[in-house]
Amino acid sequence: MRLALAQLAIEEASPRTNTERALDAVEAAADRGADLLALPELWNVGYFAFEAYAREAEPLTGPTLSELADAAADRDLALLAGSVVEDLAASAEAGLATPADEGLANTAVLFDADGDRRAVYRKHHLFGYESAEVRLLTPGEALPVVEVAGFDVGVTTCYDLRFPEQFRALTDRGATLLLVPSAWPYPRVEHWRTLARARAIENLTYLGAVNGTGAFDDAELLGRSAVYDPWGTTLASAGDEPALVTADLDPARVEEVREEFPALADRRE
């Protein structure tokens, strides 16, 4: 399977511009023979555009996700549509959230190569440090794992990287590829590199961490999207400029590494 990570240049509160860039990434990934493309966290509105969250929120059936799903299906490409601000009440009206759900969520959606919605992940750990996310958004509960192009794929989002128990739970559910759409800013470069690699190593799994680029009023995204193999070896990475990162992954490699180094089997609860 060829995985692509779209390290997009994100403009604050400019959804149409950002969507055009995402659509361009779908085309570029398909041209490179990718089977699965992942976009960053809140790529359409910009993570730090807190005042735009409510204005730009959509249900899961909204125009942004629908347009991307159609574009990916046209190119026979599975797509993790990063994350967007979801209007939970509107999704509930469409039968895609529980009636009790309300407010907004930071929601990642995984589509298969036919454009069918396969997984919905609402960010579990909301960032409270100098961020309005914890005040504006509702955390999710579900941890889906779905099969895509020979891999069992689990999804987390950005700040979740600091909570290893969530990644272990996905591994226990069979995940062999973990995807982490993010909006990780300077100066925490070493945290970004170390935590993503550690999550791959400790779970003996592939991991793709996709970040954005762009400067906002109070922060600048650091880019450095990367793909790690089950040993934590970097297969592909980018700097801090817009880029499309690609790497070829072998599902049999996960089983081989876990058999060679059976740390997961040696766990004690």
Mean pLDDT of 92-113: 92
Domain boundaries, the chain: 2-266
* pLDDT value at 102 more than 90: no
* pLDDT value at 26 more than 80: yes
pLDDT in tens, 29-61: 999 999 999 999 999 999 999 999 999 999 999
List the structure tokens of 142. 């579900």
| CA 25 to centroid of chain Cα atoms | 15
Q: How confident is the model at residue 118 (pLDDT cuts 50, 70, 90)?
A: very high
CA-wise closest residue to 214 among 14, 4, 3: 14
Residues with a known catalytic role: 41, 123, 158
Other C-beta atoms within 10 Å of 240: how many? 17
Which is it for strands 206-210 and 226-228: parallel, antiparallel or unpaired? antiparallel
Which is it for strands 220-222 and 243-248: parallel, antiparallel or unpaired? unpaired
Percent of the chain with pLDDT over 70: 100
Give the three-state DSSP class for 237: strand
* pLDDT value at 98 more than 90: no
| Chain mean pLDDT for the chain | 96
Longest dimension (CA), the chain: 51
pLDDT for residue 8: 98
Alpha helices in the chain (DSSP H): 15-31, 53-56, 63-74, 88-93, 133-136, 164-172, 189-203, 251-260
Q: Which residue has the tokens 């959230």?
A: 97
* pLDDT value at 100 more than 80: no
> Are the beta carbons of 12 and 46 closer than 8 angstroms?
yes
pLDDT for residue 24: 98
Radius of gyration of the chain (CA): 17
pLDDT for residue 131: 83
Distance (Å, whole) CA 172 – CA 176:
10
pLDDT for residue 192: 98
Distance (Å, whole) CA 242 – CA 88:
31
Q: What is the CATH number of domain 2-266?
A: 3.60.110.10
pLDDT in tens, 128-152: 887 899 999 999 999 999 999 999 9
